[in-house]
């Protein structure tokens, strides 16, 4: 079995567990007044789990493959696939998650976006910084002000 099908099989197991949690576990803990709402907190996880299961089954059954057999991943030549960039990005994601509370959302997210684009090969700093700043501010504004979910923008030492 090809590497993409093994990955799809692993992701299928994760999506099935996530779907079980969304369909069974989350709905069982709802308050009685929320059971009459048309959209529950578990609605989006349910949609994600179903879409993930469908995507994994498409890959496992080989329905995404056309008549040509190009683009298969050769697991014996993983060094040819910019593995260093992928590992650096995964490490950067972990550092970002650990820095969210002490650095604040705005600083951590701008740093993550700028460093991530640098790892991927972008060198135009005059574009990276304003785009990362604007995207970070828009996301913070939508979460904080529109959705009403508190998101610490600054480090705790600045009163964030």
Q: Let me know whether 93 and 54 are in one domain.
A: no
pLDDT for 133 equals: 95
Looking at 25, 44, 74, the residue that finishes a domain is 74
What pLDDT score was predicted for residue 14?
Answer: 94
Cα–Cα distance measured from residue 147 to residue 116, given in angstroms and rounded to the nearest whole number: 27
**pLDDT confidence of residue 1:** 66
Task: Examine the domain organization and report whether 42 and 70 are in the same domain.
Answer: yes
pLDDT along the chain (160 residues), means of 10: 86 93 82 78 88 93 68 69 86 93 91 94 92 94 85 73
Task: Give me 45's structure tokens.
Answer: 């996880």
Does one domain contain both 116 and 65? no
**Claim to verify: residue 121 and residue 145 sit in the same structural domain:** yes
Q: Determine how many CB atoms are found less than 10 A away from the CB of residue 140.
A: 17
Distance CA 146, CA 160 (A): 19
Does residue 68 lie within any of the structural domains? yes
Which pLDDT score is estimated for 71?
A: 64
Measure the CA–CA gap between 147 and 141, rounded to whole angstroms.
9
Number of structural domains (the chain) is 2
Q: Quick one: 90 and 144 in the same domain?
A: yes
Going by C-beta distance under 8 Å and a sequence separation of 6 or more, which residues neighbour residue 117? 128, 132
Tell me, yes or no, whether 80 lies in a domain: no
Are residue 100 and residue 119 in the same domain, yes or no?
yes
Structural domain ending residue among the three candidates 74, 109, 137: 74
| pLDDT for 108 | 93
Examine the domain organization and report whether 128 and 149 are in the same domain. yes
Quote the pLDDT of residue 67.
Answer: 55
> Among the three residues 23, 40, 74, which one is the final residue of a domain in this structure?
74
What does the pLDDT read at residue 77? 72
Tokens of 9: 């099989």
**Which residue range forms the structural domain that includes residue 107?**
85-158
3-state helix, strand, coil in the chain (%, to 5): 75, 0, 25
**90 and 134 co-located in one domain:** yes
Encoding tokens for residue 33? 């007044």
């Amino acid at each position: 079995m090809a590497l993409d099908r093994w990955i799809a099989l692993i992701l299928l197991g994760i999506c099935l567990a996530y779907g079980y949690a969304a369909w069974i576990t989350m709905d069982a803990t709802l308050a009685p007044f929320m059971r009459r709402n048309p959209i529950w907190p578990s609605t989006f996880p349910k949609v994600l789990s179903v879409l993930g299961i469908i995507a994994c089954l498409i890959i496992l059954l080989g329905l995404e493959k056309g008549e040509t057999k190009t683009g298969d991943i050769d697991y014996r030549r993983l060094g040819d696939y910019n593995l260093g960039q992928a590992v650096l990005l995964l490490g950067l994601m972990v550092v970002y998650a650990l820095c969210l509370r002490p650095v604040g959302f705005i600083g951590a997210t701008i740093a993550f976006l700028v460093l991530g684009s640098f790892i991927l090969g972008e060198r135009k700093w005059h574009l990276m910084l304003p785009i990362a700043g604007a995207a970070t501010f828009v996301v913070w504004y939508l979460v904080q002000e529109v959705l009403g979910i508190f998101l610490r923008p600054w480090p705790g030492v600045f009163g964030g």
